[in-house]
């Protein structure tokens, strides 16, 4: 779990994934023949083989807060990077890439409908000048949280999708296949699946698999959804961005024999598969999801067994599909 | 040049007039018009064949005629994002022959209380072209014809300018200027179509050109009037050329943004951030095209954008022209 902890705590909001990319690069390097970074910042690790060209994608980016304005007193206004409702940020600690820390607060008494424009970040600066010496407009912060194990579960910020990155790295360590495999750690998934789009174009895979987190429907009064935490690795059927390839889905169900799995239909949201499967002349694309509670909050929670099963299924996919 | 460009009509999908004018003025080694209607002007690199694409869109927001009523009024649909409430009683011209028209709404004394209290909607409006019957109107206008705002460009006040299509003829004028010379690298000047309805022109142009680097020249929103909290003012008129970092369509490439800021500082050119992340540009389609393109945007703040009349500062425009020119001199090192 040490690696997962390091990945979750790493800094990497959409569009500023440099730190987390460096960390992943070090982890994946021993299992790749070639590593490159493209114009959008995707990390592409290529393990050469004579078989099918398989693209495995997990996004590195996390949701964040981008500074849009610094006022006379040194308070920062910010925009959401990705889907981040005000209620998830209020009174949270945040951290910038350069180490500057801050807290998020709301203008005055909280209304029933919280407005993003009334939120601000306090970084302890006493004037505009002081604040400007610490951060610039356009800099991004991420929320701060601890990595905590609770029984069989672990909780932290950025589990979406460092859990997916972790699964991909762990699978890479175990995969023994003659297929031509591209491990792609993508950027800007949270703001429109953008990194995966250009990576898929460059790679032109025969088959693709996106590895990401998904929601669950098993908490008190939660929206109805058939995925449960600890219910096994989820094989994606559909989300807002893709209906997965039916052949691959069938094949993945066969490959999942002997390990707990569940089928996932996510009403909203999307994954990298959304832009991969419509790349060029079309790509057969499937999805493996790690069930996650409280998505986009600092308490994103996954189950260790689901994670283990996801790694097994990715490995089998690469070796036997 | 900007005056002429702003006065031309070129609602998204009907950019012919703007395209013809630009084609008559353009200087380049090779000029083509692609299947979408984009103009692609090429200047061969003096030293390398790395590709830089600079893009400005020719189209503007406007209307498309959707129905001719029994009384000879024209019902319409907006093309691009327009606040319906600004449309009442505005002058427009309809079709290629620029038939004069006025946007009509039920007179206030005839409106029910309920009608007066709610904002007007597009469906309540129609264009009056002075026709007395459906038959007469049908002789002058076809369904599918376009209508554009009828506002003449002029200078006013203390170095302000106003016009209907400053977004993005400002960018077109700048790009024409950049095309007057060759650069070390291959230079593609793209005058794109249909930016206001989703950037479809730039998308196709970028796919064909496959640039190594791209710069988008734009008009951007400016909300420094009325009671807008400072942090919600996108840009401020007179505070210089705008270097956006992120909008709805793109995170600008950080390396390019830093280089643009450094270039502005070095040449003492006034520049400003964009303080919100709304809106989109052709950059959205360009940066995510092919295997990905490093892309940034430079923009001129424009008050009342997407209305019959936009207002920009001559100083901001000059800062925009100067920064673009200076940046082009040094960008070769980044490609």
**HEC secondary structure over B199-265:** CHHHHHHHHHHCCCEEEEEEEEEECCCCCCCHHHCCCCCCCCEECCCECCCCECCHHHHHHHHHHHH
In sequence order, what are the beta bridge partners of B299?
B218, B242
Residue of B nearest to A117 (CA): B232
Which pLDDT score, from 0 to 100, does residue A111 have?
78
From A81, A194, A202, residue closest to B291, measured CB to CB: A202
Is A97 buried (19+), middle (13-18) or exposed (0-12) by CB count in 10 A?
A: middle
- Residue at a domain's end among B97, B115, B149: B149
Which pLDDT score, from 0 to 100, does residue A227 have?
96
Tell me, yes or no, whether B298 lies in a domain: yes
Which pLDDT score, from 0 to 100, does residue B232 have?
82
Q: Let me know whether B206 and B318 are in one domain.
A: yes
Select the residue from B231, B240, B252, B279 to test the A interface by mutation, using most A Cβ atoms within 10 A: B231
Under the banding of pLDDT at 50, 70 and 90, the label for residue B197 is: very high
Nearest alpha-carbon partner for A252 in A285, A278, A275? A285
Is 90 exceeded by the pLDDT of residue A96? yes
Contact with chain B for residue A188, Cβ under 8 A: yes
Tell me, yes or no, whether B159 lies in a domain: no
* Each residue's pLDDT tens digit, A298-313: 999 999 999 999 999 9
Tell me how far apart the alpha carbons of residues B165 and B306 are, in angstroms, rounded to a whole number. Answer: 8
Nearest alpha-carbon partner for A261 in A289, A237, A285, A231? A231
Is 90 exceeded by the pLDDT of residue B234? no
Mean pLDDT computed over A105-110: 86
The CATH number given to whatever domain includes residue B241 is 3.40.630.10
Which pLDDT score, from 0 to 100, does residue A108 have?
83
* Each residue's pLDDT tens digit, A216-233: 999 999 999 999 999 999
Tell me, yes or no, whether B157 lies in a domain: no
Which tokens go with B90? 């505005």
Under the banding of pLDDT at 50, 70 and 90, the label for residue B335 is: confident
Select the residue from B251, B262, B265, B272 to test the A interface by mutation, using most A Cβ atoms within 10 A: B251
Q: Let me know whether B174 and B105 are in one domain.
A: no
- Say whether A198 and B289 touch across the interface (CB within 8 A): yes
Tell me, yes or no, whether B158 lies in a domain: no
Tell me, yes or no, whether B154 lies in a domain: no
* Each residue's pLDDT tens digit, B259-310: 999 999 999 999 999 988 888 999 999 999 999 999 999 999 999 999 999 9
Cβ contacts of A84 on chain B, cutoff 8 Å: none
Under the banding of pLDDT at 50, 70 and 90, the label for residue A23 is: very high
Q: Let me know whether B252 and B176 are in one domain.
A: yes
Average pLDDT, chain A: 96
Torsion of CA A220, A224, A226, A228, to 10 degrees: -20
The answer to whether B5 and B165 have CB atoms below 8 angstroms apart is yes
Find the catalytic residue in A17, A27, A189, A264: A189
The answer to whether A210 and A58 have CB atoms below 8 angstroms apart is yes
Which pLDDT score, from 0 to 100, does residue A268 have?
85
- Per CB distance under 8 Å, which residues of B are interface residues toward A? 229-232, 245-246, 251, 253-254, 257, 273, 275-277, 287-294
**Number of domains, chain B:** 2
Q: Let me know whether B123 and B185 are in one domain.
A: no
- Say whether B288 and A198 touch across the interface (CB within 8 A): yes
* Each residue's pLDDT tens digit, A157-177: 999 999 999 999 999 999 999
In sequence order, what are the beta bridge partners of B303?
B222, B311
The answer to whether A39 and B251 have CB atoms below 8 angstroms apart is no
End-to-end distance of chain B based on CA atoms, in angstroms? 30
Tell me, yes or no, whether B269 lies in a domain: yes
Q: Is B195 a catalytic residue?
A: yes
Q: Model's pTM, two decimal places?
A: 0.91
Which pLDDT score, from 0 to 100, does residue B275 have?
87
The CATH number given to whatever domain includes residue B110 is 2.40.30.40
Mean pLDDT computed over A96-101: 98
Q: Let me know whether B56 and B67 are in one domain.
A: no
Which pLDDT score, from 0 to 100, does residue B7 have?
97
Which pLDDT score, from 0 to 100, does residue B97 have?
92
Contact with chain B for residue A172, Cβ under 8 A: no
- Residue at a domain's end among B87, B119, B149: B149
DSSP A72-133: TTS-EEEEEESS--HHHHTT-EEEETTS-EEEEEESSSPPSS--GGGEEEE-S-SSHHHHHH
- Say whether B288 and A16 touch across the interface (CB within 8 A): no
Which tokens go with A291? 């069930």
Tell me how far apart the alpha carbons of residues A57 and A276 are, in angstroms, rounded to a whole number. Answer: 9
Q: Let me know whether B193 and B325 are in one domain.
A: yes
Q: Which of B42-56, B137-151, B212-226 has the lowest mean pLDDT?
A: B212-226
- Residue at a domain's end among B149, B179, B206: B149
**Domain span including residue B28:** 2-60+164-334
Phi-psi region of A283 (alpha: psi -120 to 50; beta: other; left: phi over 0): beta
In sequence order, what are the beta bridge partners of B51?
B186
Which pLDDT score, from 0 to 100, does residue B111 have?
82
Nearest alpha-carbon partner for A165 in A14, A6, A319, A300? A6
B293 to chain A nearest CA, in Å? 6
Helix (H, G, I), strand (E, B) or coil at A252: helix
Cβ contacts of B286 on chain A, cutoff 8 Å: none
* Each residue's pLDDT tens digit, A260-315: 999 999 988 999 999 999 999 999 999 999 999 999 999 999 999 999 999 999 99
Find the catalytic residue in B60, B195, B196, B218: B195
Tell me how far apart the alpha carbons of residues B153 and A62 are, in angstroms, rounded to a whole number. Answer: 46
Who's near B98: CB < 8 A, 6+ residues apart? B9
DSSP B10-50: -BTT--HHHHHHHHHH---SEEEE-TTS-EEEEE--SS---
Contact with chain B for residue A79, Cβ under 8 A: yes
Torsion of CA A13, A18, A24, A30, to 10 degrees: 160
Tell me, yes or no, whether B270 lies in a domain: yes
Whether the bond into B189 is cis, omega within 30 of 0: no
Cα-atom radius of gyration of chain B, to the nearest Å?
A: 21
The answer to whether A105 and A91 have CB atoms below 8 angstroms apart is yes
Q: Let me know whether B77 and B108 are in one domain.
A: yes
Q: State percent of chain B over pLDDT 90.
A: 86
Kindly provide the ipTM of the predicted complex, given to two decimals: 0.87
Q: Let me know whether B169 and B243 are in one domain.
A: yes
Q: Let me know whether B71 and B204 are in one domain.
A: no
Give, in order, the Cα–Cα distances in Å from A136 to each of A141, B98, B335: 11, 48, 26
From B254, B275, B289, residue closest to A68, measured CB to CB: B275
Which pLDDT score, from 0 to 100, does residue B48 have?
93
Q: Let me know whether B217 and B249 are in one domain.
A: yes
Give, in order, the Cα–Cα distances in Å from B116 to each of A194, B103, B307: 45, 17, 22
Q: Let me know whether B79 and B111 are in one domain.
A: yes
CB pairs under 8 A between A and B: 65
The answer to whether A318 and A171 have CB atoms below 8 angstroms apart is yes
Give, in order, the Cα–Cα distances in Å from B203 to each of B14, B57, B200, B207, B287: 18, 12, 5, 6, 9
The answer to whether B248 and B277 have CB atoms below 8 angstroms apart is yes
**DSSP H helical segments within chain A, as ranges?**
2-9, 18-28, 86-89, 128-134, 159-174, 194-203, 246-255, 273-276, 304-320
* Each residue's pLDDT tens digit, A39-81: 999 999 999 999 999 999 999 999 999 999 999 999 999 999 9
Which pLDDT score, from 0 to 100, does residue A75 have?
97
- Say whether B287 and A40 touch across the interface (CB within 8 A): yes
Tell me, yes or no, whether B101 lies in a domain: yes
* Each residue's pLDDT tens digit, B42-99: 999 999 999 999 999 999 999 999 999 999 999 999 999 999 999 999 999 999 999 9
Q: Let me know whether B245 and B118 are in one domain.
A: no
Which pLDDT score, from 0 to 100, does residue A60 have?
98
**Residue B156 CB coordination number (10 Å):** 9
Cβ contacts of B276 on chain A, cutoff 8 Å: 68, 79
From A15, A195, A202, residue closest to B246, measured CB to CB: A15
């Amino acid at each position: 779990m040490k690696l997962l902890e390091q990945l979750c705590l790493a800094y990497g909001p959409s569009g500023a994934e440099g730190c987390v990319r460096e960390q992943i690069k070090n982890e994946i390097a021993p299992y790749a023949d070639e590593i490159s970074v493209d114009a959008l910042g995707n990390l592409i690790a290529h393990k050469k083989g004579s078989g099918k060209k398989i693209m495995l994608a997990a996004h590195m980016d996390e949701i964040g807060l981008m500074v849009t304005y610094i006022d006379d007193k040194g308070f920062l206004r910010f925009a959401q990077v990705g889907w981040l409702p005000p209620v998830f940020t209020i009174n949270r600690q945040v951290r910038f890439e350069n180490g500057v820390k801050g807290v998020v607060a709301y203008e005055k008494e909280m209304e029933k409908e919280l407005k993003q424009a009334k939120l601000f970040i306090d970084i302890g600066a006493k004037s505009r000048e002081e604040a400007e010496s610490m951060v610039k407009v356009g800099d991004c912060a991420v929320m701060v949280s601890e990595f905590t194990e609770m029984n069989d579960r672990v909780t932290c910020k950025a589990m979406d999708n460092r859990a997916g990155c972790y699964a991909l790295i762990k699978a890479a360590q175990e995969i023994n296949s003659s297929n031509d495999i591209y491990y792609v750690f993508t950027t800007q998934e949270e703001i429109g699946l953008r990194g995966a789009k250009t990576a898929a174009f460059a790679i032109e895979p025969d088959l693709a698999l996106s590895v990401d987190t998904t929601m669950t429907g098993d908490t008190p009064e939660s929206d109805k959804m058939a995925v449960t935490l600890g219910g096994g690795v989820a094989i994606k059927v559909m989300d807002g961005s893709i209906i997965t390839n039916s052949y691959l889905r069938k094949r993945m169900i066969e490959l999942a024999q002997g390990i707990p799995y569940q089928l996932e239909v996510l009403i909203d949201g999307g994954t990298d598969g959304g832009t991969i499967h419509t790349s060029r002349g079309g790509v057969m694309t499937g999805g493996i999801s790690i069930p996650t509670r409280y998505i986009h909050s600092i308490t994103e929670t996954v189950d260790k067994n689901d994670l283990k099963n996801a790694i097994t299924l990715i490995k089998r996919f690469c070796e036997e599909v | 040049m900007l005056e002429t460009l702003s006065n031309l009509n070129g609602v998204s999908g009907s950019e012919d007039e703007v395209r013809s004018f630009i084609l008559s003025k353009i200087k380049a080694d090779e000029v083509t018009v692609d299947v979408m209607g984009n103009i692609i002007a090429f200047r061969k690199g003096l030293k390398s064949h790395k590709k830089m694409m600079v893009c400005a869109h020719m189209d503007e927001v406007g209307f498309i005629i959707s129905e001719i009523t029994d009384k000879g009024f024209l019902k319409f649909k907006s093309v691009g994002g327009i606040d319906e409430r600004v449309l009442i009683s505005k002058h427009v011209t309809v079709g290629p022959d620029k038939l004069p028209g006025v946007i009509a709404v039920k007179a206030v004394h005839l409106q029910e209380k309920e009608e007066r209290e709610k904002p007007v909607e597009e469906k309540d409006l129609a264009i009056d072209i002075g026709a007395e019957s459906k038959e007469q109107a049908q002789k002058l206008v076809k369904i599918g014809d376009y209508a554009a705002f009828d506002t003449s460009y002029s200078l006013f006040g203390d170095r302000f300018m106003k016009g209907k299509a400053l977004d993005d003829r400002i960018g077109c004028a700048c790009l024409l200027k950049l095309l007057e010379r060759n650069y070390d690298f291959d230079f593609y000047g793209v005058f794109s179509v249909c930016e206001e309805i989703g950037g479809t022109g730039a998308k196709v142009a970028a796919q064909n050109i496959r640039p190594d680097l791209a710069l988008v020249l734009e008009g951007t929103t400016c909300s420094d009037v009325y009671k807008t909290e400072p942090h919600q003012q996108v840009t401020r008129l007179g505070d210089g050329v705008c270097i956006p970092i992120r909008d709805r369509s793109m995170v600008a490439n950080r390396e390019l943004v830093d280089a643009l800021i450094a270039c502005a500082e070095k040449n003492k050119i006034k520049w400003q951030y964009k303080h919100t992340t709304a809106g989109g540009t052709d950059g959205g389609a360009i940066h995510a095209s092919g295997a990905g393109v490093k892309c940034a945007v430079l923009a001129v703040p424009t008050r009342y954008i997407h209305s019959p009349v936009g207002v920009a500062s001559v100083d901001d425009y000059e800062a925009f022209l100067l920064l673009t020119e200076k940046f082009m001199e040094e960008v070769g090192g980044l490609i």
